[in-house]
Amino acid sequence: MATGGAIAKAIDLVTKATEEDKKKNYAEALRLYQHGVEYFLHAIKYETNGDKAKESIRTKCTEYLERAEKLKEFLKKDGTKKKAVPAGESGNGKKDNKDDSDDDGDDSELKKLTKPLEGKVLIEKPNIKWDDVAGLELAKESLKEAVILPIKFPHLFTGKRTPWKGILLFGPPGTGKSFLAKAVASEANNSTFISVSSADLVSKWLGESEKLVKGLFDLARIKKPTIIFIDEIDSLCGQRSDTESESARRIKTEFLVQMQGVGNNTDGVLVLGATNIPWVLDAAIRRRFEKRIYIPLPDEAARVTIFKLNMDKTPHTLNPDGSDFRHLGAITDRYSGADISIVCREALMMPVRKVQTATHFKKVKGPSPSDPNKIVDLYSPCSPGSPGAVEMSFHDVPGDQLLEPKITMNDMLRAVSQTKPAVTETDLIKLKEFTEEYGQEGS
């Protein structure tokens, strides 16, 4: 048999096997899977289109063999048990009011699929307010339109005026896309927030991934109003191609149907996606995200605010008039919010390093670490020539008698010089082009 004919026959067999599998005709499904794999192995033997085609066939063989082994184990165990009684009948063939095969019903199967997803429902919401997000006013307004206002004023969204069903947040890494989602989770009172990733929706078993996607949306409809947040959505909904696996194609198809398909009601469900590489998304997926908002790098004013938010409760000697913060904002062009957070964390380690490398300490008055209202004698690192300096290391300082050194402007400048921005100009150009063609600015 020619290679093309063997592949066609194999695909036909595994398609029939999948159908029998869904109908719970496991013995027939096992037989068809095994025959299908035999044809795939025959195709590998005579494949002439190169290693890539062979690798694709091997991947399919592995998937079907794993499912066949699972069915074989199930049938082996099931053969030692009493034959199952058909749904709705007792052992004597009469109707029984109690459904003894409830575990095999569709509802039971749906419960099994949604059970792991229920763990993704945020019970304890993060305490993040809109004001904690620096800048991004347009993005915040769009999210309020889609989430907050429809819940608080449902009469405003009737007839042709309907809230957004899908919002895509895209931009460089570290600009606050996930942080915005946390703010939505905190501010959206009386709504359910479900946060998932591709790992939660992809299964190695044939047919289960699309069932998980369906289960996700069924769970969202049960608990509506619901926000489904999918971080790094590009890993789940990339562009469809002839070389991708059948399981990946099925996941995307089910996702498309559930988001905006015939017979699926999406009222009260918002899908919120985030990605750093929006150009890899499938065109049909991109269309279903009605609002596509670019989350750019923070401008100078936003960077100043981010520095202040990160240094809020940390003891420091930066000018209270804000001039030091403004200088830090000016010298951190092309830094993302995450980059600035790393700068501040690097600066926070400077006092620790001063304590670790100090050779002299002196006694000073200060608030007790255990009781801030109580003033006690504490040890502070100092230079050898400082009045009252005593030669000792941090090993000699009692644990409850160390005065935390304050962060200085020099510490901040040193941290900036040691931390480089993670976003390149090439990334920004590609994102700008995508925004001009498909999206809108979020700041």
**In this structure, what CATH number is given to the domain that contains residue 74?**
1.20.58.80
* Whether residues 259 and 307 fall in one domain: no
* Whether residues 268 and 313 fall in one domain: no
Question: Looking at the predicted structure, is the pLDDT value of residue 391 above 80?
Answer: yes
- Amino acid letter, residue 383: S
The domain containing residue 72 runs over which residues? 1-79
Instruction: Please give the C-alpha separations between residue 244 and each of 55, 240, 288, 338, 382, in angstroms, as whole numbers.
Output: 12, 7, 21, 34, 63
CATH number of the CATH domain containing 263: 3.40.50.300
- Amino acid letter, residue 71: L
Question: Looking at the predicted structure, is the pLDDT value of residue 210 above 70?
Answer: yes
| pLDDT for 94 | 43
Flag whether 59 is in a domain: yes
* Whether residues 174 and 39 fall in one domain: no
* Whether residues 283 and 346 fall in one domain: no
Flag whether 90 is in a domain: no
The arithmetic mean of pLDDT across residues 305-314, rounded, is 87
Q: How many residues does the chain have?
A: 443
* Whether residues 240 and 345 fall in one domain: no
Reference 390, options 375, 401, 400; nearest CA is 401
**Is pLDDT larger for residue 306 or for residue 74?**
306
Flag whether 13 is in a domain: yes
* Whether residues 260 and 318 fall in one domain: no
Determine the Cα–Cα distance for residues 259 and 276; give it in Å rounded to an integer.
Answer: 21
Lowest mean pLDDT among 37-51, 72-86, 108-122, 166-180: 72-86
% residues pLDDT > 70 (the chain): 84
Mean pLDDT of the chain: 80
Sign, CA torsion 27/31/32/34: positive
Q: How do 269-275 and 226-231 pair as beta strands?
A: parallel
* Domain end point (choices 79, 103, 130): 79
Question: Looking at the predicted structure, is the pLDDT value of residue 91 above 70?
Answer: no
Total number of domains in the chain: 3
CATH number of the CATH domain containing 340: 1.10.8.60
* Whether residues 261 and 308 fall in one domain: no
* Whether residues 213 and 315 fall in one domain: no
Question: Looking at the predicted structure, is the pLDDT value of residue 92 above 60?
Answer: no
Flag whether 107 is in a domain: no
Element spanning 274, H or E: strand 269-275
Determine the Cα–Cα distance for residues 215 and 106; give it in Å rounded to an integer.
Answer: 12
| pLDDT for 398 | 85
Determine the Cα–Cα distance for residues 254 and 250; give it in Å rounded to an integer.
Answer: 6
Lowest mean pLDDT among 96-110, 134-148, 151-165: 96-110
Flag whether 214 is in a domain: yes
**Is pLDDT larger for residue 346 or for residue 372?**
346
* Whether residues 367 and 400 fall in one domain: yes
Flag whether 67 is in a domain: yes
* Whether residues 341 and 362 fall in one domain: yes
Global confidence as pTM: 0.67
Determine the Cα–Cα distance for residues 399 and 413; give it in Å rounded to an integer.
Answer: 29
Flag whether 362 is in a domain: yes
Lowest mean pLDDT among 204-208, 266-270, 404-408: 204-208
* Whether residues 398 and 414 fall in one domain: yes
Flag whether 104 is in a domain: no
* Whether residues 414 and 273 fall in one domain: no
